[in-house]
């Protein structure tokens, strides 16, 4: 048992909670679209073929925004293949995931799904095999009201009003040699800037995301951002960041501290962007779209790809990276959300990758059920409870040693305050593998008494426990055993390897 503490004050804020922090990602990859969100003939399918069980879980998850249609997929995608009569749509090779794309679901279908799910769409443009003209064509189809050829084509395809998409990604992971149409930073920076200028000529108020590094471990990290932004700084609003985490060689201690790396990643990109802004004498503060993040057992996937036969067939919607998440994974996801909230002043957009089946919080089976993975729960509760302003937290806690990061705090935390309701919510993880923690949070800065309205903890004696089709609720949050306010101090007991959320509300 060890002790930790911090103080909260409503005057010490970071930034408003951005609803776009709770974004997700749908890529035409594996079973994310087909038998994920879309499965005509499924017992729950609606008239458009969308699985209503998955839609219900998406709403419960609290997703605010979805990045679409990729991902690596987008760098070879021809958007026009996915419009018009479905029977006339071509089947294409997807080089990114070595599968066949039937194009049964295209932009019109996906926008209908997004409307049902109640989510905003961030559309990713193909700057791998295509460029400025394709970007303008997509924009004309989705956003121009009428009279032009592509606007009228959209109308004839059944959507009279424009979709009004406001956020566009200028390509995907163009720094990666695996990317179809991979470019140098100079090549991509020029293309991104020219595409952005053209799009702003069509609609000045768009929000545009330039490709940052696909990982902070890339050999070109930071140098890529610097060169791209020197060419495109004034034309874009965000630069992207992507990060995936997994335990390496059984090193759970470092894995549980993955948010240390996310914090460093964000701080490094912010420093690089601000340096470029200063060099260009710009008053604009560029922001980060952390539009791919999650736990991903990437090594296992890469080893599987390397061992695949050279004559591997081109399947439709194969099972690809359908990781089954455990308790430790859920605690790490909860901690990554803490990191994202902590950086809300510079990271107002984030997308957990992906939504269904593919490294996802939701799993589904063709013709069968859909269920919540362990990582579903911290996301859903954080999305529901994080409201108002993000508060500064200066945590006093002991440390433990990790191979990757050295000494790291045993606890990590963030808090939010909703001035309208008076609610204060504390999100905290205990990374220690054997020690429970006593947490004390001073609430002296708040006028009036606060009481615990709800408190949830996700923890389990078996860190490898998972949710499956047979046992979909093996791992769920439980009411916290001890969370109470006494004399202006919130006291809580935190089990080892746990994620906890506590909402306080003004006492009656």
Query: Known catalytic residues?
Result: 173, 292
Token representation of residue 262: 């996310």
Opening angle at CA 241, ends 401 and 288, nearest 5: 110
For every residue of 195-215, which 3-state class applies, written as one string? Answer: HHHHHHHHCCCCEEEECCCCC
Spatial separation of the C-alpha atoms in residues 466 and 433, rounded to whole Å: 18
**147, 148, 149, 153 alpha-carbon torsion, rounded to 10°:** -60
Q: Which of 385, 482, 444, 380 is nearest to 1 (CA)?
A: 482
Contact 486, 452 (CB under 8 A): no
- Where helices occur in 203-326 by DSSP H, the ranges are 223-232, 252-256, 258-279, 298-306
Q: Report the distance separating Cα 400 and Cα 4, nearest Å.
A: 13
Who's near 433: CB < 8 A, 6+ residues apart?
252, 253, 256, 463, 496, 497
Round to whole Å and give the CA distance between 137 and 73: 19
Q: Which helix (H) or strand (E) holds 239?
A: strand 238-245
Distance CA 484, CA 453 (A): 10
- Give the number of C-alpha atoms closer than 13 A to the C-alpha of residue 201, restricted to the C-beta side: 10
DSSP-derived secondary structure letter, 148? S
DSSP-derived 3-state class of residue 236: coil
* DSSP for residue 25: E
């Amino acid at each position: 048992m060890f002790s930790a503490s911090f103080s909260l004050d409503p005057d010490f804020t970071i930034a408003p909670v951005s609803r776009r922090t709770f974004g997700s990602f749908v890529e035409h990859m594996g079973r994310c679209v087909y038998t994920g969100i879309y499965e005509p003939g499924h017992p729950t399918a609606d008239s458009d073929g969308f699985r209503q069980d998955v839609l219900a879980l998406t709403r419960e998850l609290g997703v605010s925004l979805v990045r679409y249609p990729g991902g690596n997929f987008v760098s070879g995608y021809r958007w026009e293949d996915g419009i018009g009569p479905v029977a006339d749509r071509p089947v294409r090779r997807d080089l990114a995931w070595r599968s066949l794309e039937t194009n049964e679901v295209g932009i019109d279908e996906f926008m209908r799904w997004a409307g049902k799910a109640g989510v905003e769409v961030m559309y990713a443009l193909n700057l791998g095999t295509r460029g400025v003209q394709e970007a303008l064509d997509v924009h004309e189809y989705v956003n121009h009201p009428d009279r032009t050829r592509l606007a009228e084509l959209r109308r004839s395809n059944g959507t009279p009003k424009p979709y009004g998409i406001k956020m566009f990604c200028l390509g995907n992971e163009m720094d990666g040699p695996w990317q179809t149409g991979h470019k140098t930073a100079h090549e991509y920076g020029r293309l991104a800037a020219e595409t952005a200028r053209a799009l702003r000529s069509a609609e000045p108020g768009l929000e545009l995301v330039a490709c940052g590094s696909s990982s902070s471990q890339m050999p070109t990290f930071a140098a890529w951002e610097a060169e791209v932004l020197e060419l495109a700084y004034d034309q874009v609003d965000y630069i992207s960041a992507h990060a995936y985490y997994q335990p390496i060689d059984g090193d759970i201690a470092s894995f549980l501290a993955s948010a240390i790396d996310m914090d460093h990643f964000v701080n490094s990109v912010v420093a690089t962007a601000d340096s470029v802004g200063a060099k260009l004498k710009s008053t604009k503060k560029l922001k980060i779209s952390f539009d791919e993040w999650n736990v991903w057992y990437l090594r296992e996937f890469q080893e599987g790809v390397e061992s695949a036969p050279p004559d591997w067939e081109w399947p439709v919607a194969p099972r690809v990276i359908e990781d089954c998440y455990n308790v430790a994974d859920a605690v790490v996801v909860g901690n990554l959300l803490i990191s994202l909230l902590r950086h809300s002043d510079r990271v107002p957009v984030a997308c957990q990758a992906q939504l269904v089946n593919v490294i996802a919080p939701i799993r589904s089976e063709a013709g069968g059920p859909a269920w919540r993975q362990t990582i579903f729960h911290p996301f859903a509760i954080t999305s529901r409870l994080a409201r108002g302003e993000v508060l500064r937290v200066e945590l006093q806690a002991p440390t433990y040693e990790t191979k990757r990061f050295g000494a790291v705090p045993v606890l990590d935390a963030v808090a939010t305050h909703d001035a309208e309701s008076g609610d204060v919510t504390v999100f905290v993880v205990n990374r220690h593998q054997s020690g429970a923690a006593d947490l004390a949070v001073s609430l002296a800065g708040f006028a009036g008494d606060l009481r615990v309205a709800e408190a949830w903890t996700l923890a389990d004696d078996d860190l490898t426990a998972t949710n499956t089709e047979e046992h979909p609720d093996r791992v769920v949050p439980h009411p916290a055993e001890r969370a109470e306010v006494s004399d202006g101090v919130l006291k809580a007991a935190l089990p080892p390897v746990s994620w906890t959320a506590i909402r306080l509300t003004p006492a009656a």
